[in-house]
Amino acid sequence: MEFTPEYLKPLPLAGRRPPGGGPEPSAPWVVLRGAGGRRSAGDGGGAAVLLDRDTVLIEDIAYNGDPGRVYPRPGARQAVAELRSLGVRLGVLTEQPGVARGVLNRRRIETVHHRIEELFGPFDVWAVCPHGPAERCGCRKPAPGLVLAATRALRVPPARTTVIGGTGADLVAAAEAGARGLLVPAGVARAEGLVAAGHRRAADLPGAVRMLLAAGTAR
């Protein structure tokens, strides 16, 4: 399967500015592949589900630029296929601070994403934060920039979007963007004390999908 995005460019953010003003923070990398044969990406209808890449879709391997080390989480491929069968627009969010540290580059990250799409099928949008903590960007969670960039690219309102994440920071980013959050905890208590009252959680991605279907928020 050839990895050929329809366009690749930064999108403007309505995220946080550095304290004391200053220039707009660096934008995330966004790859929009279109609607994958489902609804048009420009019609503004339907729902979207944004998935945290590591810990929710695949095993979390620090600074992984090797497609041979992409391991799907248990049940994740079937869960994604179920969402795709409903016509839900699917996106992936990921922070890759290894870029800022010189360990990774864009080509290596996209090679990993190519492998993920070989295993899971195409996703409608990828949103990548390549910044380190010192850059104070608007897309490093719990800032909402990745969620906002993905929903803007898909032209789906945040209120029609669910973010399924592995940490409390994912849920905070979702809430600040105006989206729903659903936690699939990564390891033991990686909610990091950031899970606000009322946030839902599931044991794994298949469980999260069942919750979305029961609540009617994946249509």
Catalytic option among 43, 52, 124, 170: 52
Cite the DSSP H helix spans in the chain: 76-85, 106-120, 145-154, 168-177, 205-215
Q: Is 54 a catalytic residue?
A: yes
Q: What is the DSSP string of 44-74?
A: --S-EEEEETBTTTB---TT---GGG--BPT
- Radius of gyration (C-alpha) of the chain in whole angstroms: 16
Token pair of 76 as six digits: 């994740």
Token pair of 94 as six digits: 């990921």
- For the chain, what is the total number of helices (H) and then of strands (E)? 5, 8
Q: Is 52 a catalytic residue?
A: yes
CA dihedral over 54, 59, 63, 69, signed as positive or negative = negative
Report the 10 Å Cβ neighbour count for 85. Answer: 9
Catalytic option among 54, 60, 170, 204: 54
- Active-site residues: which are they? 52, 54
